[in-house]
């Protein structure tokens, strides 16, 4: 469990101040009617790429094979490594920064 010392740290304050703190209270409303709610503008890019790139391929396009490798995407988009690179281990399987 968290210690009193941790409660008082700047890191703790930053953690508490992240947008998710608000989200803890109430899930962000993405809309209520499915028709309009399916397309929120400003969908976080990383969540979107999780879905448009990393989901299973049900079909093989003539060119999708070449693109499915996306190694160049990996190289140029460091920030998206974790959502694209299958070889990156999940942060919780190693002794990460936590």
Partner 1 sequence: MTEIPALTYAFAVCRGGGLTVPPEPLAELPGLGTGAPVRTVAAGPLIAVVQDVPAAGYGEEALRRRLSDGAELERCARAHHSVITAASALAPAVPLPLATVYLDDGRVREALGERETSFLTALDRIAGRVEWGVKVYAPAGPPPAPEAAPAAAPGDGPGSGRAYLDRVRTRRHDREQRHTLALRAAERVDTVVRGLAVAARRLRPHGVEVTGKHRTHVLNAAYLLDLGRERELRAALASLRHDETDVQIELSGPWAPYSFADGGVTDARATP
Tell whether residue 34 is a contact of partner 1 (CB under 8 A).
Answer: yes
Give the footprint of partner 1 on residues 52-81 (CB under 8 A).
52-64, 66-68, 70, 72-73, 75-81
User: What are the Cα distances from residue 66, in Å, to 18, 23, 54, 93?
Assistant: 38, 39, 14, 30
Q: How far apart are CA 55 and CA 30, in angstroms?
A: 22
Cβ 87 to partner 1 shortest distance, Å = 10
Give the footprint of partner 1 on residues 2-31 (CB under 8 A).
2-3, 5-6, 9-12, 14-15, 18, 20-21, 23-28, 30
Q: How far apart are CA 87 and CA 71, in angstroms?
A: 12
Cβ 19 to partner 1 shortest distance, Å = 9
């Amino acid at each position: 469990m968290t210690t009193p010392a941790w409660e008082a740290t700047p890191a703790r304050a930053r953690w508490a101040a992240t947008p998710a703190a608000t989200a803890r209270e109430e899930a962000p409303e993405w809309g209520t009617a499915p028709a309009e709610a399916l397309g929120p503008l400003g969908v976080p890019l990383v969540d979107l790429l999780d879905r448009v790139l990393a989901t299973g391929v049900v079909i093989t396009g003539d060119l999708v094979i070449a693109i499915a490798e996306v190694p160049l995407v990996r190289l140029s988009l460091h920030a998206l490594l974790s959502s694209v690179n299958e070889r990156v281990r999940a942060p919780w399987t190693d002794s990460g920064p936590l």
